[in-house]
Amino acid sequence: MKVHTYSDFVQFHEPSGLTNFYQFRKALSDAEIETIRELAKQTERQLGTAGGKVNPGYRSSRISWLYLDDSTGWLYSKLGRMVKEANDALWNFSLVGMSEAIQFGEYHAADKGHYDWHIDLGSQRFARRKISVVIQLSDPDDYDGGDLELQFAQAPQKIPRGKGFACLFPSYTIHRVTPVTRGVRRSLVIWVSGEPFR
């Protein structure tokens, strides 16, 4: 009897070349994305920061937080299954779990929404980040620009823009969101933590 993995149900696609990421073509259904958007409407929005400060020239986004509770438990569980499969397949990092809330983000063309080159791994509590997960929530036809790009080799690698598409990568990977020139790009981000790299 075949043992199914999570990717059997969400259309895993194997990256090729000089890459170090794992992806799911349809990690979330349209109905699940609509539920997430409704949950996000009930949260307080704030400006995204970089290094603890608002700097629109470096990062321009609006964010809110989806904390673990009865309404979001299904989402945390689903993300956890994706992370386990990706980690088992590629990195085998020593992980503890999701020690931060899920971030819901919006990049608006009216704000020149973007996030310049950065890594998610940092100092203090951010030193425990090991895997970053980014899930696209917008239909690609709803916005221009706003590409997630990862830097692995000489040229940035543009990640597919499909609605529900998930990209998982080590938190030390340099990446950016290019400026949105039309519409709104929405996404989810979560970081999975473990003991600091050593």
H, E, C per residue of 101-163? CEEEEEEEHHHCCEEEEECCCCCHHHHHEEEEEEEECCCHHHEEECCEEEECCCCEEECCCCC
pLDDT(7) > 80: no
pLDDT(25) > 70: yes
> Domain containing 195: what range?
15-49+101-198
Of residues 81 and 153, more confidently modeled: 81
Whether residue 120 lies inside any domain: the answer is yes
Query: Which pLDDT does position 11 carry in this prediction?
Result: 45
Whether residue 93 lies inside any domain: the answer is no
Question: Which DSSP symbol is given to 95?
Answer: -
Burial bucket for residue 44 (CB in 10 Å: 0-12, 13-18, 19+) = exposed
pLDDT digits (tens, 9 = 90+) for 94-129: 999 998 999 999 999 999 999 999 999 988 888 999
Whether residue 55 lies inside any domain: the answer is no
Handedness of CA 195, 168, 44, 56 (dihedral sign): positive
Whether residue 94 lies inside any domain: the answer is no
Lowest-confidence range among 1-5, 37-41, 100-104? 1-5
Whether residue 143 lies inside any domain: the answer is yes
Give mean pLDDT, residues 33-51: 94
Whether residue 95 lies inside any domain: the answer is no
Domain count, the chain: 1
State the CATH number of the domain containing residue 158: 2.60.120.620
pLDDT digits (tens, 9 = 90+) for 154-194: 788 899 999 999 999 999 999 999 999 999 999 999 999 99
Query: Which pLDDT does position 1 carry in this prediction?
Result: 41
Give mean pLDDT, residues 23-51: 95
Give mean pLDDT, residues 139-160: 92
What tokens appear for 152 in the block? 């692995």
Whether residue 5 lies inside any domain: the answer is no
State pTM to two decimals.
0.89
Q: Please choose, from the candidates 32, 63, 40, the residue with its C-alpha nearest in 3D space to the C-alpha of residue 177.
A: 63
- Dist. CA 80–CA 87, nearest whole Å: 10
Whether residue 76 lies inside any domain: the answer is no
